[in-house]
Amino acid sequence: MNKNALTHPESVSPLMEEVKKHDIRYIRLIIVDLNGMPRALLIPEYELPKALNEGIGIDGSSLGLVNIEHSDLAVHPDPTTFLIPMWETPGIAVMFTYLGNPDETPFDGDSRGLLKATLDEIEAKGMGFNTGPELEYFYVQRSNGNIAPYGSGGYFYLPPMDPTEDMKLETMMNLEAAGFQLEKIHHEVAMGQQEINFRYADALKTADNATLYKLVVKTIAEKHGASATFMPKPFWGANGSGCHVHQSLTDLKTGKNLFGNRDSETGLSKMAFNYVAGILCHARAMSMIVAPLVNSYKRLVPHFEAPVYIAWGLGNRSAIVRIPQYPGDKAIVTRMEYRHPDPSCNLYLAETVMLRVGLDGIKRKAEPPEIFDDNVYHARDLEMLPENLGEAIDLFEKDSVVSGAVGEYITKTLTKAKRDEYEAYIKYVGTDWASSRPRITPWEIERYLTTC
Domain ranges of the chain: 3-105, 117-448
Distance CA 221, CA 450 (A): 12
- Direct distance between the N- and C-terminal alpha carbons of the chain, in angstroms, rounded to an integer: 28
CA-CA-CA-CA dihedral for 233, 237, 238, 241, to nearest 10: 20
Digit-coded pLDDT (tens) for 124-150: 999 999 999 999 999 999 877 789 999
pLDDT at 68: 81
pLDDT confidence of residue 4:
61
Strand 146-149 and strand 243-251: the pairing is unpaired
What pLDDT, on a 0 to 100 scale, did the predictor assign at position 146?
A: 84
The answer to whether the beta carbons of residues 82 and 8 sit under 8 Å apart is no
Identify the pLDDT of residue 262.
Answer: 85
User: What is the architecture of the domain spanning 117-448?
Assistant: 2-Layer Sandwich (3.30)
3-class secondary-structure state, position 170: helix
Best CATH choice for the domain 3-105 from the list 3.30.1360.30, 3.40.50.2020, 3.10.20.70, 1.10.10.10:
3.10.20.70
pTM score, whole prediction: 0.95
Give the phi and the psi of residue 168 in degrees, each rounded to 5: -65, -40
Three-state SS for 251? strand
Q: Which helix (H) or strand (E) holds 427?
A: helix 400-429
CA 301 from centre of chain: 20
Query: What's residue 1's pLDDT?
Result: 55
3-class SS of residue 184 = strand
d(C-alpha 14, C-alpha 17), whole Å: 5
Report whether 259 contacts 200 (CB < 8 A): no
Question: Cβ–Cβ contacts within 10 Å for residue 54, how many?
Answer: 15
Alpha carbon 10 to its chain's center: 31
The ranges of the chain with pLDDT < 70 are: 1-4, 331
The answer to whether the beta carbons of residues 397 and 415 sit under 8 Å apart is yes
Per-residue model confidence (pLDDT) at position 151: 84
